[in-house]
């Protein structure tokens, strides 16, 4: 990997007509609908008055798994998602036509045997009004592509958590087919479905998408602090600290503040923190 060449790359622009089906499928993939009569959850599952989940900002008008493109010459099987953040600037509604523009904003090289960290940003606007709707930032570890140069800082600092026990928590069970459903929202990385690709990447079996785990954490925040009013979440950031296996139970631990909430998410069966240093702005 060469720093100058990577920074000059043009990531394909993406367009999306935000259909009801896409919004509902994303909600099903992040744990909504377990209680099919729950009024709060049905807001994101029923086309009558349908709303868009805030964490869907992570995937709107996404260019797909572009790191797999042979012209970039990257070891895509060893790619790991390290951190994710989004900010919602204006309301996102079903039926909007979206344009997503992604670009590399930095690379932090760790050396030939240690890989490199890639920082990307995607801005999503409404095609008709040109209004900026949301911004998403992704931090990716390229474990097999170090030594190409770059000493850029991350786009945002790590959020520190309070040094005390959490004030609230919320549990959600992850079904065994969670990755199979979530991948239909656009992330077709074989790591999450193909056992052989997972083994080549160093995992015993396919793991859950990091952004699916983040979606479940957002679900827990909405259930506990927002009465399922997703529009109250204006921004969110997390670090991915361990893989999640479909079939586990995720406990999101929270420290509510005046205008936001610090949080982390734990895989209960293993007592492992899988999301850390989380923060969400709340209206």
Residue 67 pLDDT: 80
CATH number at residue 210: 3.10.129.10
* % of residues, the chain, pLDDT over 90: 80
148-202: per-residue pLDDT in tens? 889 899 989 999 999 999 999 999 999 999 999 999 998 888 889 999 999 998 8
* Residues ≥6 apart with Cβ < 8 Å to 134: 57, 60, 86, 87, 88, 89, 90, 92, 123, 124
Q: Which H or E run includes 101?
A: strand 97-109
Do 141 and 263 lie in one domain? The reply is no
74-92 mean pLDDT: 91
Whether 12 and 143 share a structural domain: yes
Name, in order, each residue with C-beta under 8 angstroms of 212's C-beta and a sequence gap of 6 or more: 29, 30, 178, 179, 182, 244
Nearest to 256 by CA among 224, 227, 232: 224
User: Of 132, 156, 180, which one is at a domain's C-terminal end?
Assistant: 156
Q: What is the pLDDT of residues 102-155, one digit of tens each?
A: 999 999 999 888 899 999 999 999 999 999 999 999 999 998 888 888 989 998
Together in a domain, 124 and 165: no
User: In the numeric block, which tokens belong to residue 81?
Assistant: 């998602």
Give me the pLDDT at residue 10, please: 86
Give the domain extent around 115.
Answer: 1-18+60-156
Q: Is the same domain home to 130 and 224? A: no
Domain count, the chain: 2
Helix pair 210-225, 20-29: axis angle to 10 deg: 90
Whether 207 and 245 have beta carbons less than 8 Å apart is answered as yes
Q: pTM for this structure? A: 0.93
pLDDT at residue number 148: 85
Q: Which residue has the tokens 């529009």?
A: 231
Q: Are both 182 and 150 inside the same structural domain?
A: no
The chain-wide mean pLDDT, for the chain, equals: 94
**Which of 124, 156, 188 is a domain's end point?**
156
> Helix, strand, or coil here: 130?
coil
Q: How many residues does the chain have?
A: 283
Beta bridge partners of 263: 254, 278
Q: Which of 39-53, 136-150, 226-240 has the lowest mean pLDDT?
A: 136-150
Kindly tell me if the per-residue pLDDT of 73 is higher than 80: no
Residues 124, 61: Cα–Cα separation, whole Å: 7
Domain boundary among 95, 124, 156: 156
Mean pLDDT computed over 251-261: 96
Q: What is the pLDDT at residue 64?
A: 83
């Amino acid at each position: 990997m060469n720093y100058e060449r990577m920074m000059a790359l043009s990531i394909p622009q993406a367009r999306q007509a935000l259909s009801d089906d896409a919004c509902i499928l994303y909600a099903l993939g992040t744990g909504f609908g377990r209680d099919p009569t729950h009024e709060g959850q049905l807001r994101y599952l029923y086309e009558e008055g349908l709303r868009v989940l805030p964490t869907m900002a992570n995937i709107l008008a996404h260019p797909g798994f572009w790191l797999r493109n042979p012209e970039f010459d990257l070891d895509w099987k060893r790619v790991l998602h390290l951190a994710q953040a989004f900010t919602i600037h204006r309301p996102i509604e079903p039926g909007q036509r979206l344009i997503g523009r992604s670009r590399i904003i930095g690379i932090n090289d760790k050396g030939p045997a240690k890989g490199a960290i890639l920082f990307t940003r995607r801005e999503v606007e409404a095609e008709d009004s040109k209004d900026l709707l949301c911004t998403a930032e992704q931090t990716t570890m390229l474990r097999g592509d170090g030594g190409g140069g770059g000493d850029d800082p991350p786009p945002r600092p790590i959020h520190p958590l309070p040094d005390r026990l959490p004030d609230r928590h919320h549990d959600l069970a992850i079904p065994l087919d969670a990755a199979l459903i979530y991948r239909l929202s656009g992330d077709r990385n074989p790591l999450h479905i193909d056992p052989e690709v997972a083994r080549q990447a160093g995992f015993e079996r396919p793991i859950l998408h990091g952004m699916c785990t983040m979606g479940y954490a957002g679900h827990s925040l909405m259930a506990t602090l927002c009465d399922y009013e997703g529009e109250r979440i204006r921004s969110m950031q997390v670090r991915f600290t361990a893989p999640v296996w479909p079939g586990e139970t995720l406990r999101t631990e929270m420290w509510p503040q005046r205008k936001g909430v610090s949080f982390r998410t734990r895989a209960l069966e293993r007592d492992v923190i899988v999301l850390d240093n989380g923060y969400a702005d709340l209206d």
